[in-house]
């Protein structure tokens, strides 16, 4: 069962009916999170299997951060959007470092990258809560930590050539990404409704 991180039960859908703008916002976040996890998987595959399109897929993945920023800029201004873009770019770059270290069997490099990855997640959570009090710290941290854990499992199972498990893990990643997307849009809807 996929955790709900406290968001759906605490979200009063009757009070915050989704109008056309809210539905569009939700769909935008869902698209961004879907792109985030799909391009991440493609980059992991590129690293693990030395694919020739690794540079191109990495470039496309890194575009995800400024794409998020464009959406957030509408609500939080350019400076806050740029800060989130910076934090999300770090999240993506550190993830690639972790996969590369794991592939090279560099346990100390992998441990260092993983430590920085979780610290970055904490920074993201604090930042999000700072700009929107409805992005609660503990549920948001649980979501980001689960995202990191699942992504690491996805990479490890791929490195170990356990492709069935990797696909099962990606199915979980996709479900969790949609929940994260809804947590983002629900937070904005609540904030703008008050």
pLDDT > 70: what percent of the chain? 90
| Averaged pLDDT for residues 71-77 | 97
pTM as predicted: 0.90
Pairwise CA distance, residues 28 & 16, whole Å: 18
Pairwise CA distance, residues 43 & 87, whole Å: 19
Within 13 Å and on the Cβ side, how many CA atoms surround 133?
Answer: 4
pLDDT above 60 for 4: no
Pairwise CA distance, residues 148 & 154, whole Å: 10
Residue 94 in 3-state DSSP?
helix
pLDDT above 60 for 191: yes
Contacts of 4 (CB under 8 A, 6+ apart): 179
Residue 18 region by backbone torsions, left for phi larger than 0, else alpha for psi between -120 and 50, else beta = beta
pLDDT digits (tens, 9 = 90+) for 24-38: 999 999 999 999 999
DSSP strand E in 37-169: where?
none
Q: Which helix (H) or strand (E) holds 67?
A: helix 64-103
Environment class of 78 (CB within 10 Å of its CB; exposed 0-12, middle 13-18, buried 19+):
exposed
**Between vectors from CA 42 to CA 98 and to CA 24, what angle results, nearest 5°?**
110
pLDDT digits (tens, 9 = 90+) for 129-145: 999 999 999 999 999 99
pLDDT above 90 for 71: yes
| Averaged pLDDT for residues 57-77 | 98
Query: Mean pLDDT over all residues of the chain?
Result: 93
DSSP-assigned letter for residue 155:
H
Pairwise CA distance, residues 35 & 33, whole Å: 5
Q: What share of the chain is helix, strand, coil (3-state, %, to 5)?
A: 85, 0, 15
Q: What is the DSSP string of 113-136?
A: HHHHHHHHHHHHHHHHHHH-TTS-
């Amino acid at each position: 069962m996929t955790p709900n991180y406290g968001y759906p039960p605490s979200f009063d859908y009757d009070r915050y009916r989704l109008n056309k703008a809210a539905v569009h916002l939700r769909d935008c976040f869902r698209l961004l999170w879907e792109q985030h996890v799909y391009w991440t998987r493609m980059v992991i595959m590129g690293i693990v299997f030395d694919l020739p399109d690794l540079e191109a897929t990495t470039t496309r993945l890194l575009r995800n951060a400024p794409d998020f920023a464009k959406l957030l800029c509408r609500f939080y201004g350019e400076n806050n959007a740029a800060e989130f873009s910076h934090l999300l770019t770090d999240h993506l770059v550190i993830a690639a470092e972790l996969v590369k270290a794991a592939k090279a069997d560099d346990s100390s490099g992998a441990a260092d990258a993983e430590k920085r990855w979780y610290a970055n997640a904490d920074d993201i959570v604090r930042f999000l809560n700072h700009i929107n009090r409805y992005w609660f710290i503990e549920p948001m941290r649980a979501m980001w930590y689960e995202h990191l854990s699942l992504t690491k499992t996805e990479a490890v199972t791929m490195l170990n050539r356990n492709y069935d498990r990797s696909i099962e893990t990606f199915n979980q990643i996709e479900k969790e990404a949609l929940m994260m997307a809804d947590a983002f849009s629900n937070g904005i809807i609540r904030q703008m409704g008050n």
